[in-house]
Amino acid sequence: MTIKPLGDKVVIKKLQAEETTKSGIVLTSSAQEKPQIAEIIAVGPGGVIDGNNVVMEVKVGQKVLIRDYAGTNVKLDGEGFIIVKQEDILGIVG
């Protein structure tokens, strides 16, 4: 099953948090930072949203930086996804 976002929505999947530091120290799950980097799974068509023309600037497969606590969490076929508005994406990581 797939998710097709509408309007200015984007489906993302958060990337795994780092489990070790650069110096090799293993972190417990409570000490790990919440990842703010996610991969784009699907992108809505954009269009006129609330009277404004919204052009989608992101593409499927890009890694992006998102706001804390942004979007709506959904589960589909046992996998977790987040649906966010394009404005909740802070930048493209590359």
pLDDT of residue 17: 60
Which of 69, 86, 51 lies closest to 14 in space, CA to CA? Answer: 69
Burial class (CB in 10 A: 0-12, 13-18, 19+), 46: middle
pLDDT of residue 21: 63
Predicted confidence band at 32 (pLDDT cuts at 50, 70, 90)?
Answer: very low
